[in-house]
Amino acid sequence: MSDGLEDVVAAHTVLSEVDGAAGRLVMRGHSLDALAGHTSFEEMAALMLDGFVPNLPREKQLQVALGEARKELFETIVRREAVPATLSPVEMVRAMTALIPDGEGAGVVLKLLAAPAVFTPGALRLRRGLDPVAPDPSLSQAADTLRMLTGTAPTPQQAAALDTYLVTVADHGLNASTFAARVVASTRAGLVSAVLAGISALKGPLHGGAPGPVIEMLDVIGAPADARAWLEAALDRGDRLMGFGHRIYRVRDPRADALKGAIRRLGADAGRLALAEAVEQAALAILRERKPNRTLETNVEFYTALLLEALGFTPDSFTCVFALGRTTGWLAHAHEQIAGGKLIRPQSVYVGPRPRQAA
Ligand code: ACO
């Protein structure tokens, strides 16, 4: 028995390798450095799903097919009456995704890859009482997501920054949401169900729900000089510092630097970045003092928060954007699991009371 399945190996995968000691991430034979900033969402999806989905369009045709999928989803699902706008953005995206008929095959894959790109901006605008912006199928998925969010075409730099983010988070070994997606895929419930399991696991604050609270932390701290006192008080209350610590990495999460590079290239607010860097340094110093036996370093979520904020997403929608990137990984893992053919069904050790023996 291993609490939290720590150190348990539960799959062979060709999809990604997380080297927690060296701080290295490899996806389908390519290092994160070679992919982030050099690859589009579409190219990454094609790379991850290569060999798993017969009839999935390739290269330029994939961008066209994703554009058509966005259009179809917008026309059939993104309506004021589809789901209550009182839900949080990630709950709205999950509820809209659940309206896609379940199944397997290239058609469902395309819809699921396109779904968070259409549903996230749609949900955010519906919650504000605005009309959703229809997709432009001629654009790349990253550019169109930003366009549907703001109503105006993004700059090439903004679209490139979102591509960098989506590629950086596309896959990450057997993380909680990917494991959840594989469990559901192993029952052959369908790819929509597998992705819904992934979204549900992702939204928790110990996984993909962390970056929203990072923004709250930066806003409350306000100035670099106030960082240490706030962080000390948070730890005194027993809170965890969001954006720090990881189950696998014992060194800095390599994705943090990939995203920090994207923030710099975007030319985002220098004062905001300086505040974040000051908070990061203070947090790392305090965590070293307080938890000398556990290496707690910056994880992907810390700079995710800054990058997505700079691109105009609200903190309550960051998890939806994470889902947009990670759906690629969930779908690839679901196919790998289905190809293996084995139902995931571990055992538990019963430690409750035993029935009384008859006298
Ligand atoms: N702040 C303060 N203390 C922490 C933190 C943190 N961020 N992370 C871990 N610790 C402490 C724990 O309190 C525990 O201390 P103890 O041994 O004195 O009780 C020790 O470090 C080990 O913690 P575990 O929970 O056993 O470590 P685990 O590997 O299960 O946790 C996790 C990993 C959940 C990511 C954790 O580090 C955390 O909660 N971080 C904050 C939330 C966060 O940033 N999540 C995003 C992760 S990245 C991703 O999922 C995409």
Type of residue numbered 134:
A
With contact defined as beta carbons under 8 Å apart, do 67 and 143 qualify?
Answer: no
320 token code pair: 């939806």
Q: Whose CA is nearest to atom 47 of ligand 1?
A: 207
Tell me the pLDDT of the chain averaged across its residues.
Answer: 96
How far does the centroid of ligand 1 lie from the alpha carbon of residue 244, in Å? Answer: 7
pLDDT at residue 357, rounded to an integer: 85
How far does the centroid of ligand 1 lie from the alpha carbon of residue 237, in Å? Answer: 15
71: enclosing H helix or E strand: helix 59-76
How far does the centroid of ligand 1 lie from the alpha carbon of residue 241, in Å? Answer: 8
User: What residues pair up with 298 in beta bridges, in sequence order?
Assistant: 244
pLDDT tens by residue, 161-220:
999 999 999 999 999 999 999 999 999 999 999 999 999 999 999 999 988 899 999 999
pLDDT at residue 169, rounded to an integer: 98
pLDDT at residue 163, rounded to an integer: 98
How far does the centroid of ligand 1 lie from the alpha carbon of residue 69, in Å? Answer: 38
Residue 196 has a CB neighbour count (10 Å cut-off) of 23
pLDDT at residue 82, rounded to an integer: 87
Please work out whether the CB of residue 4 comes within 6 Å of at least one atom of ligand 1.
Answer: yes
3-class SS string, 182-238: HHHHHCCCCHHHHHHHHHHHHCCCCCCCCHHHHHHHHHHHCCHHHHHHHHHHHHHCC
Please work out whether the CB of residue 296 comes within 6 Å of at least one atom of ligand 1.
Answer: yes
Task: Choose the catalytic residue: 42, 104, 172, 246.
Answer: 246
pLDDT tens by residue, 125-156:
999 999 999 999 999 999 999 999 999 999 99
Query: Residue 305 above 90 pLDDT?
Result: yes
Nearest to 180, CA basis, from 213, 209, 207: 207
How far does the centroid of ligand 1 lie from the alpha carbon of residue 42, in Å? Answer: 33
284 token code pair: 């790392």
pLDDT at residue 117, rounded to an integer: 98
Query: Residue 318 above 90 pLDDT?
Result: yes
Please work out whether the CB of residue 243 comes within 6 Å of at least one atom of ligand 1.
Answer: yes
Please work out whether the CB of residue 213 comes within 6 Å of at least one atom of ligand 1.
Answer: no
pLDDT tens by residue, 31-56:
999 999 999 999 999 999 999 999 99
Residue 303 binned pLDDT confidence (cut-offs 50, 70, 90): very high
pLDDT tens by residue, 73-113:
999 999 888 899 999 999 999 999 999 999 999 999 999 99
Q: Whose CA is nearest to atom 12 of ligand 1?
A: 240
Please work out whether the CB of residue 120 comes within 6 Å of at least one atom of ligand 1.
Answer: no
Please work out whether the CB of residue 286 comes within 6 Å of at least one atom of ligand 1.
Answer: no
How far does the centroid of ligand 1 lie from the alpha carbon of residue 294, in Å? Answer: 9
Residue 246 is a catalytic residue: yes
Please work out whether the CB of residue 203 comes within 6 Å of at least one atom of ligand 1.
Answer: no
Please work out whether the CB of residue 320 comes within 6 Å of at least one atom of ligand 1.
Answer: no
pLDDT at residue 210, rounded to an integer: 84
pTM of the complete model beyond 0.85: yes
Q: Whose CA is nearest to atom 2 of ligand 1?
A: 240
Residue 248 has a CB neighbour count (10 Å cut-off) of 18
Residue 172 is a catalytic residue: no
Query: Residue 341 above 90 pLDDT?
Result: no
Q: Whose CA is nearest to atom 4 of ligand 1?
A: 240
Query: Residue 59 above 90 pLDDT?
Result: no
Task: Choose the catalytic residue: 104, 280, 297, 301.
Answer: 301
